[in-house]
Amino acid sequence: MPKRNQASRAPDDGRGGTVTPFLAGIGADALPDAVRAAARPLPPVAVAALVVLLDLIAIGGAGLLADALVNNPGARHAGMTGLLAGLAVAFAGAIGAYDHAALHRAGPQRARALQGLAAALLVLLLVAVTLGAQRRIDPAWLGTAALLAGACLLAARTAVAALLRQDGSRSAQRAVILGAGPQATRLTEAMRRNGGSGLRLLGLVDDRGARGADALPDGLRRLGGMAQLAALIRAGQVDVVVLALPWSAEARIAAALDQLSAYPVEIRLAPDLLMDRLPASRRPAGPVLLRARPISGLGAAVKVAEDYAMAILALAIAAVPMLLIALAIKLDSPGPVFFRQRRTGFNDQPFDVLKFRTMYAEATDHEVLRQVRAGDARVTPVGAILRKTSLDELPQIFNILKGDMSFVGPRPHAPGTRAAGRRFDEVVANYAARHQVKPGLTGLAQVRGWRGPTITEEQIIRRVESDLEYIERWSPWLDITIILRTLLAVACMRNAL
């Protein structure tokens, strides 16, 4: 199986096309009613943030209450309370107290929260002794605060687990089991015993047909095969896919991972049957994570904040120039100011990308049947300048504010665009993997020079390799670097037409 950051050529299907996983799925209208009606869960990062806030309130309230109970007029420990609460949350987070699965199980989350509090108390005392400030801490306050904080954490975390585990909870991630057999049955039973471990099973998919019918776990509906799973993911109804396959079935696991690599879902592997022979303390608490969803959790929240901040800043700077460009387009040739074109975005969903019109209205090519070349007669005089300076892309700021695009990400390509006469998805087998994240106004491929017309197949292969590398390596610092390099590339007008 090729690595994610290596774009491989697509295999020929014997008719000049390619074999692309999941591209021939079913429509969302064919999904089971119960699946279509499943409510979208709260993002795990939002649930974790709420529990962090609850912990801060519990520990902070305990510290302030301890001050009132001790009733020492000369000692107030508001600063110490804040430091204790911050340290406790930090240590608890480091040992997984806010992990999504742990939050749905009372025992693990209570233990980790208390361990974080104990570590914070120990560090607070060590720092105070090291700095010679131990006299500023009233022992009576510290003991009272520790007891109250521990009690508050126990009560709060017990309530959190009960709330998250109740039927119909909006916190559980929607999961589909891939594979039918003993692994699926054991997994379903274990999840029911453990309250789901943060997962809500929608059903099971299996391409084996009747061979897997007898192994269907009780109460779990069969949703169909891989085509139905593709439709579920495209409809935004699945967050996690759990592979219920024997660990010895390496070929089947690798094939499933390869097929799912183009989709923004988390992939886990159910524990093997041999796990039952291990002591209970050494067994996995749930399915083993094989691949996290790209740019998820806190990273996704940072990415969204970054997109809106950059888009608002860019709009504030470019508003007047954009008005002048619009006026120039209207004076240059008849037709609309903006050019809208259908593109494929996040999770293979179509959207309309917005650009300044650079061609004569009657020559507009919505399907990109012929790429623009140097000296193209279809391009207006103003359009030639806009293309040379990349200013025609500025209206995509509105796509970012609408949520269809990110500031940095793989550039959205028109479905009909070709390289050496072949569609991009016919040249690159894992081309659709670019759609695991939102498309961007600029990207890693663009700053490396892989922009402009794609004359050869090698050009699109290198572009996709850069896009997949970006998805794998993403960080806010990488985005900042790409934005700075983009500004430099635009100033130099490299590879622009």
How many CB atoms lie under 10 A from the CB of residue 35? 20
Q: What residue type is assigned to position 11 of the chain? A: P
Residue type, 146: A
Give the separation between CA 412 and CA 466, rounded to whole angstroms. 14
- Mean pLDDT by groups of 10 residues along the chain of 497 residues: 54 43 44 58 86 94 88 70 92 89 85 94 89 80 92 92 75 87 80 74 78 60 86 88 86 86 88 63 70 86 93 94 94 91 88 92 71 78 88 94 95 78 80 90 89 80 92 93 87 60
Task: Quote the pLDDT of residue 25.
Answer: 42
pLDDT value for 170: 79
pLDDT at residue 17, as a whole number:
40
Please, what are the domains in the chain? 31-41+172-291 (3.40.50.720), 44-165 (no CATH), 298-492 (no CATH)
Q: Strand order in 266-269's β-sheet?
A: 222-224, 199-205, 173-178, 240-243, 266-269, 288-291
Predicted local distance difference test score (pLDDT) of residue 206: 85
pLDDT for the residue numbered 75:
58
pLDDT of residue 242: 92
Tokens coding 375: 């000296």
- Tokens 């663009």 correspond to 446
Q: At what angle do helices 106-130 and 139-165 cross, to 10 degrees?
A: 160
Count of positions (residues) in the chain: 497
